[in-house]
Amino acid sequence: MKRSWMAVLCLVLAGCVRVGGGQTGENREVTDSADTVKQVMTCTSEAGSYEFNAQGDQVTKSVQTESVSFEELGLEQGADAAKIEEAITRVLAESYGSLEGVDASGAVKDGRVEMTVSIDYETADHQALIDAGLLEPGELDSQYVSLERTQSELQSQGFACRVG
Protein backbone atom coordinates (compact mmCIF):
# COMPACT_ATOMS: atom_id res chain seq x y z
CA MET A 1 0.00 0.00 0.00
CA LYS A 2 2.85 2.38 0.81
CA ARG A 3 4.31 1.79 -2.65
CA SER A 4 1.00 2.76 -4.28
CA TRP A 5 0.78 5.89 -2.09
CA MET A 6 4.23 6.97 -3.19
CA ALA A 7 3.45 6.30 -6.85
CA VAL A 8 0.24 8.33 -6.69
CA LEU A 9 1.86 11.18 -4.79
CA CYS A 10 4.74 11.30 -7.26
CA LEU A 11 2.30 11.49 -10.15
CA VAL A 12 0.07 14.03 -8.47
CA LEU A 13 2.86 16.26 -7.30
CA ALA A 14 5.15 15.99 -10.30
CA GLY A 15 6.24 19.49 -11.17
CA CYS A 16 5.36 21.04 -14.46
CA VAL A 17 7.46 24.17 -14.20
CA ARG A 18 10.55 24.36 -16.31
CA VAL A 19 13.86 26.09 -15.79
CA GLY A 20 14.27 28.41 -18.74
CA GLY A 21 14.60 31.92 -20.04
CA GLY A 22 17.99 32.69 -18.55
CA GLN A 23 20.59 34.89 -20.08
CA THR A 24 22.40 33.37 -23.03
CA GLY A 25 25.92 34.43 -22.14
CA GLU A 26 25.44 38.11 -23.01
CA ASN A 27 25.77 40.63 -20.21
CA ARG A 28 22.71 42.80 -19.89
CA GLU A 29 23.82 46.37 -19.26
CA VAL A 30 20.40 48.00 -19.33
CA THR A 31 17.72 46.83 -16.91
CA ASP A 32 14.48 46.35 -18.80
CA SER A 33 11.46 47.73 -16.92
CA ALA A 34 9.65 44.44 -17.67
CA ASP A 35 12.26 42.69 -15.49
CA THR A 36 11.08 44.55 -12.39
CA VAL A 37 7.30 44.18 -12.75
CA LYS A 38 5.75 41.89 -10.14
CA GLN A 39 3.31 39.42 -11.67
CA VAL A 40 0.95 36.71 -10.44
CA MET A 41 -0.15 33.90 -12.74
CA THR A 42 -2.86 31.39 -11.87
CA CYS A 43 -3.29 28.18 -13.87
CA THR A 44 -6.19 25.80 -13.31
CA SER A 45 -7.51 22.52 -14.67
CA GLU A 46 -9.67 19.69 -13.40
CA ALA A 47 -6.51 18.15 -11.93
CA GLY A 48 -5.66 21.12 -9.73
CA SER A 49 -4.19 24.59 -9.73
CA TYR A 50 -0.94 26.51 -9.67
CA GLU A 51 -0.23 30.04 -8.52
CA PHE A 52 3.06 31.68 -9.46
CA ASN A 53 4.59 34.89 -8.16
CA ALA A 54 7.19 36.39 -10.47
CA GLN A 55 9.51 39.36 -10.77
CA GLY A 56 9.45 40.06 -14.50
CA ASP A 57 9.80 36.63 -16.16
CA GLN A 58 11.56 35.09 -13.14
CA VAL A 59 9.30 32.93 -10.95
CA THR A 60 10.04 33.53 -7.28
CA LYS A 61 7.38 31.30 -5.69
CA SER A 62 4.79 28.71 -6.72
CA VAL A 63 1.95 26.97 -4.93
CA GLN A 64 0.49 23.79 -6.45
CA THR A 65 -2.77 22.36 -5.13
CA GLU A 66 -4.17 18.99 -6.17
CA SER A 67 -7.38 17.33 -5.03
CA VAL A 68 -7.48 13.53 -5.13
CA SER A 69 -10.33 11.21 -4.22
CA PHE A 70 -9.90 8.43 -1.67
CA GLU A 71 -10.56 5.93 -4.46
CA GLU A 72 -7.70 7.34 -6.54
CA LEU A 73 -5.43 6.70 -3.56
CA GLY A 74 -6.76 3.16 -3.13
CA LEU A 75 -8.58 3.97 0.12
CA GLU A 76 -12.11 3.25 1.24
CA GLN A 77 -14.47 6.22 1.56
CA GLY A 78 -15.12 5.40 5.24
CA ALA A 79 -11.44 5.40 6.19
CA ASP A 80 -10.46 7.41 9.28
CA ALA A 81 -9.80 10.94 7.99
CA ALA A 82 -7.34 11.79 10.78
CA LYS A 83 -5.20 8.71 10.05
CA ILE A 84 -5.30 9.41 6.33
CA GLU A 85 -4.25 13.02 6.88
CA GLU A 86 -1.43 11.88 9.18
CA ALA A 87 -0.22 9.36 6.58
CA ILE A 88 -0.32 11.93 3.79
CA THR A 89 1.62 14.46 5.86
CA ARG A 90 4.21 11.80 6.73
CA VAL A 91 4.67 10.72 3.10
CA LEU A 92 4.97 14.33 1.91
CA ALA A 93 7.48 15.11 4.67
CA GLU A 94 9.53 12.04 3.71
CA SER A 95 9.41 13.02 0.03
CA TYR A 96 9.93 16.78 0.25
CA GLY A 97 10.68 17.66 3.88
CA SER A 98 14.44 17.78 3.42
CA LEU A 99 14.26 20.18 0.47
CA GLU A 100 15.11 23.74 1.42
CA GLY A 101 12.45 26.19 0.22
CA VAL A 102 9.75 23.50 -0.18
CA ASP A 103 6.71 23.14 2.05
CA ALA A 104 4.29 20.25 1.43
CA SER A 105 1.07 19.47 3.26
CA GLY A 106 -2.03 17.35 2.88
CA ALA A 107 -5.51 17.55 4.35
CA VAL A 108 -8.84 15.79 4.02
CA LYS A 109 -11.50 18.20 2.73
CA ASP A 110 -14.99 17.42 1.51
CA GLY A 111 -14.32 13.68 1.17
CA ARG A 112 -11.17 14.25 -0.89
CA VAL A 113 -7.48 14.63 -0.14
CA GLU A 114 -6.10 18.09 -0.90
CA MET A 115 -2.33 18.23 -1.30
CA THR A 116 -0.35 21.46 -1.51
CA VAL A 117 3.29 21.99 -2.44
CA SER A 118 4.78 25.46 -2.08
CA ILE A 119 8.21 26.26 -3.52
CA ASP A 120 10.30 29.36 -2.80
CA TYR A 121 12.63 29.46 -5.82
CA GLU A 122 14.80 32.13 -4.25
CA THR A 123 15.95 29.77 -1.47
CA ALA A 124 15.48 26.36 -3.10
CA ASP A 125 18.31 24.52 -4.85
CA HIS A 126 17.14 24.10 -8.46
CA GLN A 127 19.11 20.88 -8.96
CA ALA A 128 17.55 19.40 -5.80
CA LEU A 129 14.10 20.34 -7.15
CA ILE A 130 14.91 18.64 -10.47
CA ASP A 131 16.17 15.54 -8.63
CA ALA A 132 12.92 15.44 -6.58
CA GLY A 133 10.75 15.74 -9.70
CA LEU A 134 9.37 19.15 -8.76
CA LEU A 135 11.11 20.97 -11.58
CA GLU A 136 11.85 19.92 -15.14
CA PRO A 137 15.21 20.83 -16.61
CA GLY A 138 15.06 23.35 -19.41
CA GLU A 139 17.80 25.05 -21.33
CA LEU A 140 21.25 24.33 -19.95
CA ASP A 141 22.18 28.02 -19.75
CA SER A 142 19.08 29.00 -17.78
CA GLN A 143 19.53 30.59 -14.39
CA TYR A 144 15.91 30.87 -13.26
CA VAL A 145 12.39 29.47 -13.68
CA SER A 146 10.72 31.32 -16.55
CA LEU A 147 7.10 32.42 -16.10
CA GLU A 148 6.58 32.54 -19.87
CA ARG A 149 7.95 29.04 -20.47
CA THR A 150 6.00 27.68 -17.50
CA GLN A 151 2.79 29.18 -18.86
CA SER A 152 3.40 27.62 -22.29
CA GLU A 153 4.15 24.22 -20.75
CA LEU A 154 1.06 24.24 -18.51
CA GLN A 155 -1.22 25.42 -21.32
CA SER A 156 0.05 22.59 -23.52
CA GLN A 157 -1.02 20.22 -20.73
CA GLY A 158 -4.58 21.62 -20.69
CA PHE A 159 -4.31 24.24 -17.95
CA ALA A 160 -6.03 27.59 -18.35
CA CYS A 161 -3.64 30.35 -17.25
CA ARG A 162 -4.35 33.95 -16.34
CA VAL A 163 -1.74 36.61 -15.55
CA GLY A 164 -2.99 39.46 -13.44
Q: Residue 120 pairs with which residues in a beta bridge?
A: 61
Structural domain contains residue 131: yes
Range of the domain at 63: 2-20+41-163
CA gap 141, 102 in Å, rounded? 24
Is 35 among the domain residues?
no
Residue 102 lies in a domain: yes
Q: Is residue 134 part of a domain?
A: yes
Number of CB atoms found within 10 A of residue 141's CB? 11
- What pLDDT digit, counting tens, does each position of 46-96 carry? 989 999 999 999 999 999 999 888 777 777 767 777 777 777 878 888 888
125 occurs within a structural domain: yes
Structural domains counted in the chain: 1
Give tens-digit pLDDT for 107-135.
Answer: 888 878 888 999 999 999 988 998 888 88
CATH number at residue 46: 3.30.1830.10
Q: In degrees rounded to 5, what are phi and psi of residue 58?
A: -90, 115
